[in-house]
Amino acid sequence: MLEELKNLTMNGTSATNGDASRTNGGVNGDASQTSGGTNGHASHTGYVRPNKAGTRKTGDPLTLPPGVDSEKFKDFIRQVQDIVEQTNVNVIDKAEHLNKDHYLDPSKVHDMYNVVDEDYFVSSALVAPRNVREVQAIMKLCNEFEIPVWPFSIGRNVGYGGAAPRVPGSIGLDMGRNMNKVLDVNVDGAYALVEPGVTFADLHEYLVKNNLREKLWIDVPDLGGGSVLGNTIERGVGYTPYGDHWMMHCGLEAVLPDGTLIRTGMGALPNPDANPDLPPDEQPANKAWQLFNYGFGPYNDGIFTQSSLGVVVKMGIWLMPNPGGYKSYLITFPRDEDLHQAVEIIRPLRVAMVLQNVPTIRSILMDAAVMGDRKKYSTSGKPLTDAEIDEIAAKLNLGRWNFYGALYGPEPIREAMWQVIKASFSAIPGAKFYFPEDMPENEVLQIRDLTLQGIPTYDELKWVDWLPNGAHLFFSPIAKVTGDDAVAQYELTRRRSEEFGFDFIGDFVVGMREIHHIVCIVFNRKDPKQRQNAFKLIQTLIDDAAKMGWGEYRTHLALMDQIAGTYSFNDNAQMKLNETIKNALDPKGILAPGKNGIWPKSYDKKAWTITP
């Protein structure tokens, strides 16, 4: 494998811009009359919008939906206001709408961490439904007008595009503004039923306020402000034993592109006590809906993840019963080359579930960035050298790699697990072992102590400030849990990062039988050159990874087409299946066209695709 890596191109080039295929077309195949940008200005990245950017009229948004003129758009806005009321509709008609750029107050209309032009991925209007029936009515109206709609829950999918739509000018469907209730928490069944606007922090607070935290825990990702539902259907992860969020969901209620409402799994079986006079979304569900995922017949839930086949309006999620005891820990490995041995030790322990949770192996710079910006450690304008990185590790009393995990259960169980874990990792010369009380000054260990017991925090956000005006992209390939694969991915991604002028910041998130390798490409969002380099870097990494047989599990809007193209087995058989399902359920292509590279037949795929 390492020999294969050496054969990959070392020139760091990618992103050929300005292909003719990106400039001709749109929904109706019209030739573009501009060279990009909302006002028809040349795109700084070379990528252009197939939908025309003609002369704006009073009341027009910054970007009209493709194939929709000013009068048709205004007619749509009038009618959608009749559905949700005027206060829940906001036309994006001023550049000031693109000013928000922070996780805690995220933009709902554009990509805050843009790598192509800021005005490329922009909604034409925001519409915030108040209930399921309004979602159904909006979908029917979008079909009538043939206007694309892009649903989002909160807008904090940062690093992947946030709330921005793949097709400029789409209607942003703000599912979380009004639909934000915890609908049920069942202690005996250990589950919750939530709407899109419920964040991890909200659900945790609900348990605390209702004196349920002593009985039930939630699983949380690094930051607590994201939507439980949104993160789960994007197949996000957390760090407790319930860290695979999609694995822990149970039962969906979704609105199909034509406005039809369905319940999946056991939810398809009516509750015999339901009042047939109530609207379907208000009828009590089958009592096993959140208990058994599959129901009868084909299992449909998966088609609503990372897809454009339905708007999920309710979701069941399993909660973790209080394990009866908890202890987090940190193990540090002093040398860069210790990564190989550490991963080899981790694999059998994780498969045997001696490592009970979703642990992480974090590079030293990821921890250092939480505890200070780059200027705190170096004034160098170049990527940090090994000697400089070693100095940072010594200063922080950490290793080049740092392993965060946790023990769950009564004290005898925790102690037995710990003895096995400590003995196993003691085989690595110089490995050190810590509990939170041993390192009160270690901010990251204190944060992880909360995260690994399902208590949401926001402090991990600090690593984005490694550079001034910090923004980030995530490159997230999947790997086998082997030392060879981990080292190969690390060496490739670090080398490429440094070629493009960036420090390597990343971690390995260890699932049941695989690793999510999360590379955090931190750049100055106000520096056009850094934005361009970040984009070129990740495009290069995607191609490099595909040559090694590695695929990403999730990505930014601007990279969906490229990554979809790497999943090309048997003449793109999977994509052809996805397109067939898309065109059957959404013949007018109105729901999230282009999401994850799936373009409906109503779009000129070649014109809309963004690839290097």
Q: Where are the beta strands (DSSP E) in 124-244?
A: 125-127, 149-152, 171-174, 182-186, 191-194, 216-217
Q: Where are the beta strands (DSSP E) in 458-526?
A: 470-475, 478-480, 506-510, 514-524
Structure-block tokens of residue 255:
């609105």
Percentage of the residues of the chain whose pLDDT score is greater than 90: 85
Other C-beta atoms lying within 10 Å of the C-beta of residue 6: 8
- Predicted TM-score (pTM) of the model is 0.91
Structure-block tokens of residue 500:
């493009």
Q: Which of 22, 177, 400, 554 is catalytic?
A: 554
Least confident of 12-16, 112-116, 220-224: 12-16
| Euclidean distance between CA atoms 583 and 574, whole angstroms | 14
Phi/psi at 473 (nearest 5 deg)? -115, 150
Looking at residue 575, its pLDDT comes to 98
Which span out of 110-114, 157-161, 225-229 was modeled with the highest average pLDDT?
A: 225-229
Q: Are 400 and 364 in contact (CB under 8 A)?
A: yes
Q: Which of 130, 235, 335, 553 is catalytic?
A: 553
| Tens-place pLDDT, residues 259-274 | 999 999 999 999 999 9
Percentage of the residues of the chain whose pLDDT score is greater than 70: 92
Looking at residue 121, its pLDDT comes to 94
Q: Which of 47, 103, 113, 160 is catalytic?
A: 160
Least confident of 17-31, 62-76, 98-112: 17-31
Q: What DSSP element (H or E) covers 331?
A: strand 326-333
Q: Are 89 and 131 in contact (CB under 8 A)?
A: no
How many CA within 13 A on the CB side of residue 549?
Answer: 6
Closest CA to 180 of 210, 207, 206: 206
Closest CA to 474 of 393, 534, 388, 525: 534
| Tens-place pLDDT, residues 171-191 | 999 999 999 999 999 999 999
Closest CA to 355 of 320, 321, 404, 313: 404
| Tens-place pLDDT, residues 446-493 | 999 999 999 999 999 899 999 999 999 999 999 999 999 999 999 999
| Order of strands, sheet of 171-174, starting from the edge strand that comes earlier in the sequence | 89-91, 125-127, 171-174, 149-152
| Tens-place pLDDT, residues 73-86 | 999 999 999 999 99
Longest dimension (CA), the chain: 72
Q: Are 361 and 448 in contact (CB under 8 A)?
A: no
Looking at residue 467, its pLDDT comes to 97
| Euclidean distance between CA atoms 65 and 484, whole angstroms | 48
The single-letter DSSP state of residue 473 is E
Q: Is the pLDDT of residue 352 over 80?
A: yes
Phi/psi at 413 (nearest 5 deg)? -70, -45
Other C-beta atoms lying within 10 Å of the C-beta of residue 297: 7
Told to judge if 160 belongs to the known catalytic residues of this protein, a careful annotator would answer: yes
| Tens-place pLDDT, residues 397-438 | 999 999 999 999 999 999 999 999 999 999 999 999 999 999
Torsion sign across C-alpha atoms 151, 152, 155, 158: negative
The single-letter DSSP state of residue 271 is P
Q: Is the pLDDT of residue 40 over 80?
A: no
How many CA within 13 A on the CB side of residue 38?
Answer: 25
The single-letter DSSP state of residue 466 is G
The single-letter DSSP state of residue 383 is P
Torsion sign across C-alpha atoms 126, 131, 135, 141: negative
The single-letter DSSP state of residue 65 is P
Residue range 495-524: average pLDDT? 97
Contacting residues for 305 by C-beta, under 8 A, at least 6 apart: 233, 234, 235, 246
Q: Could you tell me the domains of the chain?
A: 19-179 (3.30.43.10), 182-267+279-321 (3.30.465.10), 326-561 (3.40.462.10)
Phi/psi at 553 (nearest 5 deg)? -100, -10
| Euclidean distance between CA atoms 429 and 11, whole angstroms | 37
pLDDT band at 29 (very low <50, low <70, confident <90, very high): very low
